[in-house]
Structure 1
Amino acid sequence: MEARERIAFALFKTDYPPQMRADIQMDQLGQIRTEFGSVTLTADLTIDWNEKRTEYLLKADAALSEMDAIVAERRGA
């Protein structure tokens, strides 16, 4: 998986509560169930990722562009 998609997926995971983030892996997408006290949250991450992938790839592009600018500034300083 390229850096751009890894960054996008990391951003995508922030949509979910901290208790779920550790269990979300790109190579194991599908339904995930998490208990929150007496409530069980079920999410189909494959559908969610497919719907939001483009949005998060654009955010990853912006992050990578900014990182390139930071590196360029520091090399020039």
Structure 2
Amino acid sequence: MSYRERIAFALFKTAFPEDVAETMTLEHMPVTRTPIDDHLVQEVDTRLHWEKSQDRYLKLADAALLELDAIATEVDAKRQGESR
């Protein structure tokens, strides 16, 4: 899995409760069940949810990677300026 995909998946997992997110992998994507009231339960198939929203999270990962690259460039420039 690329860094981009790893970042995207990490961002995706933040949409779920911590106990669910920590068990999620691309090989294991549970169905979550959240009680709404006494008679209703919301079920979310996380694998299907990932498939539908993967492009959006990949775009977020791209933005994060671009920002990290800009930060690294700034740090390098600062270090080069300090060494002179």
Q: Identify the TM-score tier after normalising by the shorter chain.
A: 0.7 to 0.9
Counterpart for residue 81 of structure 2: none
Higher relative contact order (CA 8 A, sep 6+): 1
The RMSD of aligned alpha carbons is: 2.2
Counterpart for residue 66 of structure 1: 67
3-state DSSP class of the match of 2:72?
helix
Q: 1:30 to 1:17 in 2, by over 3 A?
A: closer
| Corresponding pairs, count | 75
CA drift of 1:30 comes to 4.8
Gaps (5+ residues) in structure 2? Answer: 35-40, 79-84
Which letter maps to 2:3? A
Larger radius of gyration: 2
Alpha-carbon contact 2:31-2:45 (below 8 Å) kept:
yes
TM-score of the two chains, using structure 1 as the length reference:
0.82
Counterpart for residue 18 of structure 1: 18
Alpha-carbon contact 2:24-2:30 (below 8 Å) kept:
no
